[in-house]
Structure 1
């Protein structure tokens, strides 16, 4: 990527070119990803894949700011979104205060919050105060405890109608794009057609405006479980394990370091 994409450019990709999004939590991987990704999401998913927790809920604002700074350092030409963690946008004032802190302490281009109609007023308050917002509707990881688990959305007509209302509310509030997670593909297709901003799917079928995956899932590094919607593009865990085993074996056999590795 030679030139950093703007929020306006992302919006213009709808109906023209699918938007490529991937998560990153550090400078090393962010630098590797920026050549291919339109946007990098510093997701609160790091609480699970990076910190080993059972869900995203205990992620903190300080944690997200720390990792967002690392990603910004590694991918200076990427459009970077910071996921706002659970409890940081419970009302308009809290949301604005915490979003301002993210913008002042990092170089993030936008923040992401979960919720539809119920969060539209908060999104509108943020966007009217200079905070770019990526929405998130459908399956909401931060609501997994109240939902009783990770449940696919859009299975009933009532759910479909509510999701469309959510999408339109988020758009009207000023979000420049939104993530649609864990939603029946046919319903996701209708949602994408119902709004003029890009819908970024994750477990929402192919007929949306882009896709996002957690990098440790798509690279096969996270082994605890694999969601149905994940395609593994690399058997990363096995490759790393084999490499470290070879390293250990060469040390024990005194085959490393060799002369070319010695001063």
Structure 2
């Protein structure tokens, strides 16, 4: 990959428009950032999932903005080519648009190319405020881990007509407000594929079927090193591989070829 160029937002939009699949993984440190870069991962997500896989917490809610800034700085030092997205953690963008901007700007200063926030509806004007000031925003819909309690647990979202209509309406409003990417977690494959086909921006899925523009998994899940039960949509890409690099390459190849994920598998 010596001729590889740094990923850009226009390039990601082009990939979406042409049907070229986008491979995304979570990443939390410089060493893995370098390895994932070498394996050809298009997007690295510094997810607040670090609360689960690095800190041993039961949810993402306790993760602080300082935690995210530290890990974003670490990841950015290891990246040459991938697009870097950082999560806005719980309670860092909820009080006001101005607070959200300050949190987003801090993550960009730490090295992020884009920030990600969860939810639709009330977030629309926050997305507009951030995007109009020059920071690309990814919007996470469907199952949103930061609000797992209000969702009643780890449940697939958008299964009924009303739920699907709400996700579609929120998606359209967020894109109109300036969202440059959408991410759907645990929604029916048919719904995600339908939205992706009509979306002017890339759509990344996790437990949302193969019809999305691309896929993301938690790195520790796909390497099968997360203790305990993992979501049913996760695949162990280390199986049969001789190295972590080979496992990550197998994931990238599966996403690019459209052989991962399996549409029938969504939830936990």
TM range (shorter): 0.7 to 0.9
Q: Please, which moves more after superposition, 186-195 or 77-86?
A: 186-195
The aligned counterpart of 2:14 is 12
Query: Quick check: 1:29 aligned with 2:32?
Result: yes
Could you tell me which of 55, 61, 66 is aligned with 2:59?
55
Q: Secondary structure at the match of 2:139?
A: strand
The aligned counterpart of 1:133 is 137
The aligned counterpart of 2:263 is none
For residues 1-263 of structure 1, what are the structure 2 equivalents within 5 Å?
2-16=4-18, 17-35=20-38, 36-90=40-94, 91-104=96-109, 106-235=110-239
Query: 1:117 Cα shift?
Result: 2.5
Over the aligned positions, Cα root-mean-square deviation in angstroms equals 1.5
TM score, norm. by length of structure 1: 0.87
Query: 1:226 Cα shift?
Result: 1.0
TM score, norm. by length of structure 2: 0.85
8 Å CA contact retained: 1:221, 1:235:
no
Cα distance in 2, alignment partners of residues 84 and 76 from structure 1: 23
Cα distance in 2, alignment partners of residues 15 and 97 from structure 1: 32
Q: Which runs of 4+ in 1 moved over 2 A?
A: none
Cα distance in 2, alignment partners of residues 107 and 145 from structure 1: 31
Q: Which has the larger radius of gyration?
A: 1
In the comparison of the two structures, how many residue pairs are matched? 237
Cα distance in 1, alignment partners of residues 239 and 32 from structure 2: 16
Structure 2: segments with no counterpart, 5+ residues: 245-268
Query: 1:100 Cα shift?
Result: 1.4
Q: Deviations over 1:109-155 (max 9, x none)?
A: 01100112221110000000111111111110001012121110111
Query: 1:76 Cα shift?
Result: 2.9
8 Å CA contact retained: 1:163, 1:191:
no
Q: Secondary structure at the match of 1:53?
A: coil
Q: Deviations over 1:209-259 (max 9, x none)?
A: 1000000000101021110110110159xx99xxxxxxxxxxxxxxxxxxx
Query: 1:77 Cα shift?
Result: 2.3
